[in-house]
Amino acid sequence: MKNQKLNLTEDSISKLAIKMAVPVSVGFFFHTMFNVVDTYFASKISSIAVAAITISFPMYMMIITISRGTREGATALIANAEGSGNKQLAKKYLLQTISFSVIASIVIMIIGLLSIPYLFKLLSAEGEYFNFAVQYMNIIFWGCTFIILDSTPTAGLNAVGDTKTYANVFIIGFFVNLVLDPLLIYGFGPIPPMGIKGIAYATIIAEFIATIYVFYRLKKITNYFEDISFDDFIPKFKYQKDIITQAFPASLNTLCIASGFFIITFFASFFPTQDTSSSSVAAYGIALRIEQIILLPAIGLHFACLSLTGQNFGAMKYDRIKESYLVCMKYGLIMMIIGGFVIFFGSNLLMKIFTDDINVIQIGSYYLKISALFIPAFTALQISISLMQGLKKPIYTTFISFFKEVLGASIIFWFLCFYLNYDLNGLWFGILTINYLSLIIFLYVVNNQLKLLGIEIFDFKRQVEKN
């Protein structure tokens, strides 16, 4: 292996967690700013354009579902193979995942193009609101191959401890998008003004450039592309089965998250402001972008924990698995408590950066205050999920994601919004409730699964006996 700088099975866990999490967090900062830039320029078109991008987010997440699931599933498989010393197997998983990504992107493109008009109508979009949303997502789905395909080389790099490339991908994408958004929205020279279509085209072009870059880096840093043939990319049942087994639950996790955004947007659309229901949706969209910036350390630690757990599980170093989990959890909670203070006391000011609409500011500011209370729970849950993925037990993460994002969320949202008549505030408190409830349930599951490996983290019986 060329230029592998980090030894995930030997080096200090604390140092590894920081070295891996920081680049990912920086990368996701630019990825989040990518979306923030889109939201900002959309606000310059109209508040309806912002709402259109927000209502499109669950559909956009259909693509991210495949991309993230493939990346996390392949990362676990490649990291396990690397940790056990089977570098040839790691290579096979990488090449077969490329085939999987191409096929998956074609399927998701077809499904997306056929379904989006009906989904937007279900969310009560109509008129200009509907047209903006359809125009935007049609372009995104046509170009989704590049969004999904770059997940494969990223998985290979993450598995060997290289998260800097992952960060650079997002940095490149951000700056390309920053230049192209205004250029394509307003037009320049021979380029006609495209409005909201320009935002979508900028996204796809940025993803295309990022895909080329990440493949180049994988070839330079690893030997995965040495001595390969066309036959290596032809789907093989054995490897495709392993990939699907690991990636499918991870994809379902993200699908559940996408469904969660859809459900939240759906409930929000029931509570119009003095103007339209699009104000509630726009407020949630802006607040969500702010929330994502605060959550960046949690995302970095999620990937650090996944890679550390994956390799050390392959190497059967269970003591390092425990340490990795606890270190990532400690760092995550500290950062999120600090972040919570920032968005709680700065919510109003942060909303004003994106809009001067009083209704949107008030709704979004209130949501951010509630968000400040639940992001520590969200962080602890995500790190616990990465632990279980690294242990190749993704079924448990699928269960908790479905409960948190779909089943439990729908029940709690309906109960608070309509049965108790808390309206939109019930939706925000419902998000708070489901995050903490899901965390409690999943920590119990994690504790029981770790005991099977002889790892003791939470001894509930001993605590009861002491009391």
What pLDDT does 272 receive?
64
- Which DSSP string do the residues of 248-299 spell out, in sequence order? HHHHHHHHHHHHHHHHHHHHHTTS--SS-HHHHHHHHHHHHHHHHHHTHHHH
Higher pLDDT, 97 or 1: 97
The pLDDT tens digits for 285-314 are 889 889 988 998 998 898 889 889 988 998
CB 387 within 8 A of CB 325: yes
Residue 284 domain-assigned (yes or no): yes
Domains held by the chain: number: 1
The whole-number average pLDDT for the span 164-185 is 88
- Is the pLDDT reported for residue 427 higher than 50? yes
Split at pLDDT 50, 70, 90, the class of 462 is: low
CB 153 within 8 A of CB 214: yes
CA 433/CA 441 separation, integer angstroms: 13
Residue 386: exposed, middle, or buried by beta-carbon count in 10 A (0-12, 13-18, 19+)?
A: buried
Burial 272-286 (b: 16+ CB within 10 A, else e): bbeebbbbbbbbbbb
Averaged confidence pLDDT in the chain = 86
What pLDDT does 137 receive?
94
Domain of residue 51, residue span: 13-466
The pLDDT tens digits for 99-114 are 888 888 898 899 889 9
Residue 8 domain-assigned (yes or no): no
Residue 340 domain-assigned (yes or no): yes
Phi, psi dihedrals of residue 191, rounded to the nearest 5° = -80, 120
- Is the pLDDT reported for residue 2 higher than 80? no
The whole-number average pLDDT for the span 156-178 is 82
Residue 87 domain-assigned (yes or no): yes
- State the amino acid at position 325 in one-letter form: Y
CA 435/CA 412 separation, integer angstroms: 11
CB 161 within 8 A of CB 4: yes
**Which one-letter DSSP state was computed for residue 457?**
S
The pLDDT tens digits for 388-403 are 988 888 789 889 989 9
CB 361 within 8 A of CB 50: no
The pLDDT tens digits for 116-152 are 888 888 877 788 888 999 999 999 999 988 888 877 7
Distances (CA, A) of 320 to 17, 76, 163, 177, 240: 12, 16, 20, 40, 30
Q: Which of 263-267, 367-371, 459-463 has the weakest average pLDDT?
A: 459-463
Rg from Cα positions in the chain: 22
Residue 74: exposed, middle, or buried by beta-carbon count in 10 A (0-12, 13-18, 19+)?
A: buried
The whole-number average pLDDT for the span 353-378 is 92
- CA angle, 303 then 306 then 311, to 5°: 130
Higher pLDDT, 404 or 235: 404
- Is the pLDDT reported for residue 3 higher than 50? no
What pLDDT does 390 receive?
86
Residue 405 domain-assigned (yes or no): yes
- What is the enclosing helix (H) or strand (E) of 385? helix 358-390
Distances (CA, A) of 343 to 292, 298, 356, 385: 11, 15, 18, 25
What pLDDT does 5 receive?
59
The pLDDT tens digits for 34-88 are 888 888 888 888 878 888 888 887 788 778 878 888 887 888 888 888 777 888 8
Q: Which of 149-158, 249-258, 368-377 has the weakest average pLDDT?
A: 249-258
Residue 3 domain-assigned (yes or no): no
Coil, helix or strand for 61? helix
